[in-house]
């Protein structure tokens, strides 16, 4: 113990040798440099991506490329609207189908389910997230799509008067089947976030509702759902981000036809699918156009994820500030779920 000695006597007594201080500095500056390197790397990728996409944007203009309605490889004319539309339709369908189911599963798991079943149920839903995208594609194209085609055809003929849905010949790969499989794929993330948000609803809110004589459903509707709304919306947006960027399953299921389809049950294309499908053989301007499609996709997911994260983290932060004990833990778990997303 070389601590305090005669005041003012000799060298600083409450010091360590510079050598002993070294590891701390090395660690601090090394780690800081690493964090800075990550930032630099992302910036580098973004700049290079813009650079590679450049020629396509120059030729057709940023808006002309993004909203041009013709994607013709042979004519070297590239407009991304059919891809953008395909991406939005399939992702929108995924939300439409997936979110209600996911939220219902979350409600069931947190509020209605017998305590014994809660953990296995949660696990099963989360296992859906473990299935690789390519396996969804495989199952979708070889099992689900052929089996559902008659039903889709029946629906299309019965609803022939409804624009966009009715009429036309149903192909095996199409927007609808893609959206359906995407719905299954986003189910676990939407459900997990909804569940974590609902778990942060203070017990006294729920007990207050029940104490007033509310039925279970009334309690869910008046205490649970309003409290978790922004979290659920955020979770859905994260699911949307997933669906927008999903590549392989979509490439397998959407049919890869670069046209603006007028029917839900027709083939189409998406931004991610066009890259996966055409990049291998692409040359010159075609390749630039694919980079440009990647950039459009990148920006689109960035926007959606930004909004989503804002919503979910606001919900989580609210709980972390106001909640005590269990609420705080749940908030941390929520943050973890988002992080894992």
Partner 1 sequence: MMIEGSGPEVTDRERDSRSEVGDRPAETAGGASQSGTPRITPPSLSQPSPPTPNGGGAEQTPGLSIALEQLRAFYGPAEAVRGLDLEFHANQVTAIIGPSGCGKSTMIRCINRMHEEIPGARAEGRVMLEGLDVYDPSVDVVAVRRAIGMVFQKPNPFPTMSIFDNVAAGPRLTSSRRGDLRETVESALRSAGLWEEVADRLDEPGAGLSGGQQQRLCIARSLAVDPDVILMDEPCSALDPIATLKIEELIDQLKRRVTIVIVTHNMQQAARVADRTAFMLDGRLVEVGPTQEIFTTPHDPRTEEYVTGKFG
Partner 2 sequence: MSAHGSSAQPLARFAVSPARRRRDLFARTAILSATVLALIPLVLIVYYLLRKGLGSWSTSFFTTDPTGNTFFKNSNIGGIKSAILGTLEIVALASAMAIPIGICVAIWLVEYGRNSRFAHTVRFAVDVLTGVPSIVFGLFIYIALVVGTGSTYAGYKGSCALALLMLPVVIRSAEVILLLVPSGLRESALALGAPRWRVIFSIVLPTALPGMLTGVLLAVARAGGETAPLLFTAGATLRTNFNLDQFTNSLPVQIYSDVTSPTTSVEHRAWGAALTLVSIILLLNVIARLASRRSRLG
Contact assessment for residue 249 and residue 134, using Cβ atoms and an 8 Å cutoff: yes
Q: Which segments of 34-157 are extended strands (E)?
A: 71-72, 77-78
**96 contacts partner 2 (rule: CB under 8 A):** no
- Residues 268-287, interacting with partner 2 (CB under 8 A): 272, 275-276, 279-280
Alpha-carbon torsion, ordered 119, 124, 125, 126, to 10 deg: 80
**217 contacts partner 2 (rule: CB under 8 A):** yes
Tokens of residue 138, six digits = 């495989």
* The total number of residues written for the chain in this structure: 341
What interhelical angle do 18-60 and 284-322 show, nearest 10? 130
**311 contacts partner 2 (rule: CB under 8 A):** no
* Residue 252 interacting partner from partner 2, partner 1, none (CB closer than 5 to 8 Å by kind): partner 2
Q: What contacts 213, CB < 8 A, 6 or more positions away?
A: none
Backbone torsions φ then ψ of 325, nearest 5 degrees: 55, -110
Write down the least CB distance from residue 319 to partner 1, Å. 21
C-beta closer to partner 1: residue 13 or 104: 13
Is residue 32 exposed (0-12), middle (13-18) or buried (19+ Cβ within 10 Å)? exposed
The 173-192 site mask, x for binding partner 2 (CB under 8 A), equals: -----------x--x---x-
* Residue 301 interacting partner from partner 1, partner 2, none (CB closer than 5 to 8 Å by kind): partner 2
Backbone torsions φ then ψ of 173, nearest 5 degrees: -80, 130
Q: Which residue ranges make up the site for partner 1 (CB under 8 A)?
A: 1-8, 10, 12-16, 20-21
Instruction: Provide the sign of the torsion angle of the four alpha carbons 323, 325, 330, 333, taken in this order.
Output: positive
Of 196, 198, 191, give the one whose Cα is nearest residue 129: 191
* Residue 6 interacting partner from partner 2, partner 1, none (CB closer than 5 to 8 Å by kind): partner 1
* Residue 19 interacting partner from partner 2, partner 1, none (CB closer than 5 to 8 Å by kind): none
Residue 8, helix vs strand vs coil: coil
Write down the least CB distance from residue 29 to partner 1, Å. 17
- Residues 125-144, interacting with partner 2 (CB under 8 A): 125, 127-128, 130-139, 141-144
- Residues 227-246, interacting with partner 2 (CB under 8 A): 241, 244-246
C-beta closer to partner 2: residue 51 or 163: 51
* Residue 8 interacting partner from partner 2, partner 1, none (CB closer than 5 to 8 Å by kind): partner 1
Write down the least CB distance from residue 5 to partner 1, Å. 4
């Amino acid at each position: 113990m070389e601590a305090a000695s005669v005041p003012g006597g000799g060298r600083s007594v409450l010091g360590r040798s510079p050598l002993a201080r070294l590891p701390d500095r090395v660690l601090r500056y090394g780690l800081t440099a690493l964090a800075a390197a990550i930032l630099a790397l992302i910036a580098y990728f973004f700049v290079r991506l813009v650079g590679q996409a450049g020629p396509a944007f120059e030729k057709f203009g940023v808006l002309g490329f993004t909203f041009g309605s013709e994607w013709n490889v042979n004519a070297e004319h590239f407009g991304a609207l059919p891809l953008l539309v395909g991406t939005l339709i399939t992702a929108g369908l995924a939300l439409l189908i997936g979110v209600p189911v996911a939220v219902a599963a979350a409600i069931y798991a947190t509020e209605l389910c017998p305590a014994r079943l809660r953990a296995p149920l949660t696990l099963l839903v989360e296992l859906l997230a473990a299935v690789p995208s390519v396996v969804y594609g495989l199952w979708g194209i070889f099992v689900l799509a052929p089996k559902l085609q008659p039903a889709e055809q029946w629906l299309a003929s019965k609803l022939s008067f409804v624009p966009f849905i009715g009429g036309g010949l149903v192909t095996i790969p199409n927007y609808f089947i893609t959206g359906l499989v995407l719905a299954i794929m986003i189910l676990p993330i939407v459900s997990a976030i909804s569940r974590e948000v609902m778990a942060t609803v203070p017990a006294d809110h729920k007990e207050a509702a029940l104490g007033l004589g509310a039925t279970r459903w009334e309690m869910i509707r008046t205490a649970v759902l309003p409290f978790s709304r922004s979290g659920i919306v955020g979770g859905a947006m994260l699911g949307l981000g997933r669906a927008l960027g999903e590549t392989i399953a979509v490439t397998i299921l959407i049919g890869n036809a670069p046209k603006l389809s007028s029917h839900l049950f027709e083939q189409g294309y998406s931004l991610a699918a066009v890259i996966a499908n055409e990049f291998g053989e692409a040359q010159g301007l075609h390749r630039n156009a694919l980079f440009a499609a990647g950039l459009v996709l990148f920006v689109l997911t960035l926007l959606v994820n930004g909004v989503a994260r804002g919503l979910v983290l606001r919900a989580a932060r609210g709980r972390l500030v106001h909640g005590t004990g269990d609420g705080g833990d749940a908030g941390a778990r929520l943050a973890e779920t988002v992080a894992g997303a």
